[in-house]
Amino acid sequence: MGFLMTEPNSISCTQLAETYNISHDSVNRFLEREDYTPHDLYQEAIQHIDNNKLIVSIDDTVLDKPYSQHMDLVSYFWSGKHHRSVKGINLITLYATDQNGQNIPINFRIYDKSEGKTKNDYFMDMLSEVLSWGAKIQFITGDSWYSSTANLKTIRKHGIRFMFGIDCNRKVSPEKGQWFQLRLLPDFHQGQVVWLKDFGFVQLFKTQLKEQQ
């Protein structure tokens, strides 16, 4: 898992063998023999952090596979790195950070279009799992892809606080009876309490990021 998330160039058995100074055959035998599940990852990961007031982040990345032909799980996905759709494997991960700053992935999914699920479905499944496994979560963070009203309501139902990006077309009400799309509001860096449509009160921060036009 660590190799998949951190390798910037070639993701292959050959590269994995070279990175960890092991034989290519050993890597192949390992992949053919083992069948690890997300729960296996959680059980290993939770031993390396303090399971108390965790900050959990949801994120996904595309493992580039531009030359793969007819490989299971390889498809076209939007890549934030390339700012376009690219051919690869979409890995969705929950990362946990403890109060000491230690962080580690605690759950994952590989996007499988044959399952008929969205990335938000996977997110909710993964969150439900880690809670049932005993994760003590205080905060959840993520980008606007994962901040649907349904997701936020589910997180709130679990008594978990959150910090998410939200799309600029979402509507908020700074004052009763007044509704605005976020794009029409001025920047406010200190936070302002507003009513998020179909959800409720949130503290909203609006700013211009360096990479945004």
- pLDDT computed for residue 201 by the predictor: 96
CA distances from 182 to 135, 144, 193 (A): 34, 13, 13
- pLDDT computed for residue 70 by the predictor: 62
Q: Are 180 and 172 spatial neighbours (Cβ–Cβ below 8 Å)?
A: yes
Quick one: 143 and 95 in the same domain?
A: yes
Amino acid found at 93? T
Q: How confident is the model at residue 197 (pLDDT cuts 50, 70, 90)?
A: very high
Quick one: 81 and 181 in the same domain?
A: no
Residue 210 reports pLDDT greater than 90:
no
How many domains does the chain contain in total?
3
Q: How confident is the model at residue 75 (pLDDT cuts 50, 70, 90)?
A: low
DSSP character string of 94-152 = EEEE-TTS-EEEEEEEE--GGGT--HHHHHHHHHHHHHHTT--EEEEEE-GGG--HHHH
Quick one: 106 and 173 in the same domain?
A: no
Top pLDDT among 130 and 80 is at 130
Q: What is the mean pLDDT of residues 26-47?
A: 83
- pLDDT computed for residue 119 by the predictor: 92
Q: What is the mean pLDDT of residues 78-95?
A: 74
Residue 78 reports pLDDT greater than 70:
no
Counted residue by residue, the chain has a size of 213
Range of the domain at 1: 1-35
Q: What is the pLDDT of residues 123-153, one digit of tens each?
A: 999 999 999 999 999 999 999 999 999 999 9
Q: What is the mean pLDDT of residues 170-188?
A: 90
Quick one: 126 and 103 in the same domain?
A: yes
- pLDDT computed for residue 40 by the predictor: 92
Tokens representing 209 are 């990021």
Q: How confident is the model at residue 173 (pLDDT cuts 50, 70, 90)?
A: very high
Quick one: 157 and 67 in the same domain?
A: yes
